[in-house]
Amino acid sequence: MKAFFIDRYGKNSGARIGERPDPQLRDNDVLVQVHAAGLNPLDSKTVDGEYKTILPYRLPLILGNEAAGVVVRVGPKVKRFKPGDEVYARPDKDRIGTFAELIAMNEGDVAIKPKNLSMEEAASIPLVGLTAWQALIEKANLKKGQKVLIHAGSGGVGTFAIQLAKHIGATVATTTSTANVDLVRNLGADVVIDYKKEKFETILSDYDVVLNSLGKDTLEKSLRVLKPGGKLISISGPPDPDVARELGSGWFVRTVVRLLSYGIRKKARRHGVTYSFLFMRANGDQLRDITALIDSGAIRPVVDRTFPFAAIEEALAYLNTGRAKGKVVVTVR
């Protein structure tokens, strides 16, 4: 099968489209013919080797963390799916590889795709949808009437998280550039901070939750907008000791992670709030809940550009400019 893969980490990763063996099908797996795959900053971070300490992949590695397609074969113990089903998924962290013609995934990580979405639209959802769900519903336990700040509201996670928070009934603030103010307002943001003109940390206060996807400077400033007992949840680092434990990392890695996050955790305690890092996980049940929200019209996908699979390097380069509104997707089939 054709796939986009790397031979090593870093700028000279040798990332390219080439032939790779078809995936092996386990008893509880579905084999999916990939029609479209979503791109995420996680893909570039994987190429750079940013997570190789806590996610030691075997190289060569097929990249890609979310996809939509059609089931072509099922393992003998699969109960939920049959050949011909249109599905979408974020595969388990140990079995990534959606930038390929085929991928085998555990049926527990897969869901029937929303019926009114194209394959490209469906492929844009799983990773950002699960990230927003696990951050706002699981970690934050966000409730109706609470206030949440979602950074980078026009990005992949931001566009989904704004809609999810509004569905819950929260008051939503977000940061974005001048060009994207109308976009985030149309998605439901109540308070929009144009970061080119305003400083969010001087305008916002008494927030219950902050969802951060930006750098260290923004992370630390976000502490100031939280009320005592508030929650700062980050998807861009640094990881905290709980993440290392969840990933089953050894003593050395857990120690390194503890040191990396010590500074921000200490500052959070000083402000009377908590800091946690989210490394989202595959979850087909949550994806089914997300499907119901999409089918009901509560959430809609935001796709900036679609590229052919042959132009996947160009698509990644475009994503890395940070200017995409919503998601970037490649059409594989």
pLDDT digits (tens, 9 = 90+) for 96-137: 999 999 999 999 999 999 999 999 999 999 999 999 999 999
Q: What pLDDT was estimated at residue 204?
A: 98
Q: Is residue 283 part of a domain?
A: no
Q: Is residue 287 part of a domain?
A: no
Residues 173 and 89 in one domain: no
Q: Is residue 131 part of a domain?
A: yes
pTM exceeding 0.85: yes
Q: Is residue 249 part of a domain?
A: yes
Residues 101 and 147 in one domain: no
Q: Is the pLDDT of residue 147 over 80?
A: yes
Give the domain CATH number at 264: 3.40.50.720
Q: Is residue 102 part of a domain?
A: yes
Q: What pLDDT was estimated at residue 56?
A: 84
Q: At 284, is the secondary structure helix, strand, or coil?
A: helix
Residues 132 and 235 in one domain: yes
Computed over every residue of the chain, the mean pLDDT equals 95
d(CA 237, CA 242): 13
Name, in order, each residue with C-beta under 8 angstroms of 250's C-beta and a sequence gap of 6 or more: none
Q: What pLDDT was estimated at residue 262?
A: 84
Residues 138 and 237 in one domain: yes
Q: Is residue 294 part of a domain?
A: no
Domain containing 170 equals: 127-277
Domain count, the chain: 2
Name 226's bridge partners.
Answer: 207
Q: Lowest-confidence range among 171-185, 187-201, 234-248?
A: 234-248
Question: Which two structure tokens, joined as six digits, stand for 161?
Answer: 């998280």
Residue carrying structure tokens 């995409």: 324
Q: Is residue 316 part of a domain?
A: yes
Question: How far are the Cα atoms of 23, 33, 113, 121, 158 from residue 30, in angstroms, in the given order?
Answer: 11, 10, 14, 21, 30
d(CA 202, CA 229): 20
Q: How are strands ordered across the β-sheet holding 226-234? A: 191-194, 171-176, 147-150, 207-212, 226-234, 274-277
Residues 224 and 306 in one domain: no
Q: What pLDDT was estimated at residue 237?
A: 74
Residues 134 and 195 in one domain: yes
d(CA 195, CA 202): 12
